[in-house]
Chains A and B, each alone.
Chain A
């Protein structure tokens, strides 16, 4: 049962990692990165790594989307 969960999480991580790379538009990619972070946190949790999963959730849900979206807001604004 546990092995099956690890295997499913591994496949999910590989698929969402591929999706992050293949999506070229940065705004859509920001959402894909959030989804990839969730997949990674699930995989870390099923590998019995609680601290690392907590770090990944906290970083991937809070810090990373914020800075990516602020960067996109900055590079897209029209010059005055």
Chain B
């Protein structure tokens, strides 16, 4: 189980970076970056997971009914998800303006426009 859990984290990160490296379209590149980013969120939550634990919400329960999962990791991952979307929006805004100026979304062709 540990191998599967941590292996998925490594796989998501490497697949996301592979998408960025071999991308021919800036929009595709920004979305591949979200895949790599979600890998790191997943790692945070996996480190905080406890087998048989329940969520750190104590509404209507008797005090401490059993093991609880880590609340600090969830607080870190929570803001990360929302802000990742805002940063992706910034990348897409840059892609829109680049397309207007040079007429293409292909990063390889962009590199050669200075000649």
Contact = CB atoms under 8 A, between A and B. Distances in A.
Nearest to A16: B35
Classify the secondary structure of A's interface with B.
helix
A68 B25 CA distance: 13
Chain A interface residue bracket vs B: 35 or more
Nearest to B95: A71
A48 B62 CA distance: 18
Interface residues of B, number: 49
Given A26-B28, A33-B31, A52-B77, 4 more contacts: A7-B1, A48-B49, A48-B54, A64-B88
29 contacts: A6-B1, A6-B5, A14-B11, A18-B15, A21-B18, A21-B35, A26-B25, A30-B31, A33-B34, A43-B42, A47-B49, A48-B53, A48-B55, A49-B48, A51-B78, A52-B77, A52-B81, A55-B78, A55-B81, A56-B81, A59-B82, A59-B84, A59-B85, A64-B88, A68-B31, A68-B92, A72-B27, A74-B96, A75-B105
